[in-house]
């Protein structure tokens, strides 16, 4: 049986920290890959990116929005992509970027969607409904649960920096996740590379908790600063990049360009570590 924490540790031991986002924007997919259906086109594109990067990546992170936008064909493409990762890149963690959460009863459906239908190793969630609502996820000891904490978007501070007592809300979330919610040792935090000072603050209150760090590449996050703020002796972070890898070229050489971009970022991460 696959175990998310074991997958992470094995990859970290090999010096792998790169998580490749699989966010297919249909209009950006090279014309050479256009098939008779949206599903076939997206799957062909994703498979090529996976084949080009599977010896480099620590994780793959498909964002469900890019698939949901295409209805039934999009869901079919997401499912086929997930199954392809599991079969052809079995040592790479599959992280579903879904940002789900609801009352506990509804979450049972989300748990089935992510972990049974798609067989993902981890999922992103938001914390607003509290641990009681998220318990169906937290109970899955073999899975990774990444809670949104200090996100990479420019407007994140509107709520995440609100004062809760003497600290901002994002630090309150980090403390709660790292202690009260992490009884099974399967919790992680989403912290954006665009805010390395906040990453360092979160690391102080959440030692040992894996960080999922978006914002590198197209969003312009400072890689060295993010790694310096997040790293610990045993790794404990994943650096995410999507557009800068997937669309490194829109020509016939798109897969080779994606591999080159992934290798360059991998080298930069290893140097920063």
Indicate which residues carry an active-site annotation: 99
| HEC string for 133-189 | HHHHHHCCCCCEEEEEEECCCHHHHHHHCCEECCEEHHHHHHHHHHCCCCCCCCEEE
Residue 20 counted as domain residue: yes
233 band by pLDDT with thresholds 50, 70 and 90: low
The Cα-based distances of 149 to 85, 155, 169, 173, 189 in angstroms read: 27, 13, 9, 6, 6
Kindly report the pTM of this predicted structure.
0.96
**Secondary structure letter of residue 70 according to DSSP:** T
Residue 35 counted as domain residue: yes
Q: What CA–CA distance (Å, rounded) separates 171 from 183?
A: 19
Q: What CA–CA distance (Å, rounded) separates 213 from 217?
A: 11
More confident residue, 154 or 69: 69
Q: What CA–CA distance (Å, rounded) separates 187 from 179?
A: 10
Residue 66 counted as domain residue: yes
Q: What is the count of structural domains for the chain?
A: 1
- For residues 207-220, average pLDDT: 83
Residue 166 counted as domain residue: yes
Q: Any idea what the CATH number is for the domain that residue 60 is in?
A: 3.20.20.70
Cβ neighbors of 7 (< 8 A, separation 6 or more) are 91, 92, 93, 121
Per-residue confidence (pLDDT) for residue 266, from 0 to 100: 96
Element of type H or E holding 163: strand 163-164
Residue 247 counted as domain residue: yes
CB atoms inside a 10 Å sphere around CB 117:
13
Q: What CA–CA distance (Å, rounded) separates 112 from 162?
A: 34
146 closest CA partner among 210, 240, 72 = 210
Residue 273 counted as domain residue: no
What is the residue range of 165's domain? Answer: 4-267
Residue 224 counted as domain residue: yes
Residue 272 counted as domain residue: no
Per-residue confidence (pLDDT) for residue 26, from 0 to 100: 93
How do residues 151-172 score in pLDDT, each as one tens digit? 988 898 899 999 998 899 999 9
């Amino acid at each position: 049986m696959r175990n998310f924490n074991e997958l992470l540790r094995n990859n970290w031991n090999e010096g792998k920290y790169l998580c490749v986002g699989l966010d297919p924007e249909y209009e950006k997919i090279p014309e050479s890959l256009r098939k008779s259906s949206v599903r076939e086109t997206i799957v062909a594109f994703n498979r090529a990116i996976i084949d080009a990067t599977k010896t480099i990546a620590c994780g793959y992170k498909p964002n469900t929005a890019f698939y949901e936008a295409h209805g039934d064909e999009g869901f079919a493409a997401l499912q086929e992509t997930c199954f392809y990762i599991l079969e052809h890149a079995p040592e790479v963690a599959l992280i579903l970027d879904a940002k789900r959460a609801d009352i506990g009863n509804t979450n049972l459906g989300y748990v089935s969607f992510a972990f049974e239908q798609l067989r993902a190793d981890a999922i992103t969630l938001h914390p607003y409904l509290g641990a009681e609502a998220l318990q169906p996820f937290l109970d899955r000891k073999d899975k990774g649960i990444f809670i949104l904490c200090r996100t990479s978007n420019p407007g994140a501070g509107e709520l995440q920096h609100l004062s809760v007592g003497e600290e901002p809300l994002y630090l309150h979330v980090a403390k709660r996740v790292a202690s009260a919610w992490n009884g099974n040792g399967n919790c992680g935090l989403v912290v954006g590379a665009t805010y390395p000072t906040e990453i360092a603050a979160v690391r102080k209150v959440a030692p040992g908790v894996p960080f999922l760090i978006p914002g590198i590449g197209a969003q312009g996050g400072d890689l060295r600063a993010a790694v310096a703020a997040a790293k610990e002796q045993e790794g404990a972070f994943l650096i995410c990049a999507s557009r800068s890898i997937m669309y490194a070229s829109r020509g016939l050489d798109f897969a080779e360009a994606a591999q080159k971009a992934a290798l360059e970022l991998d080298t930069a991460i290893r140097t920063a570590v």
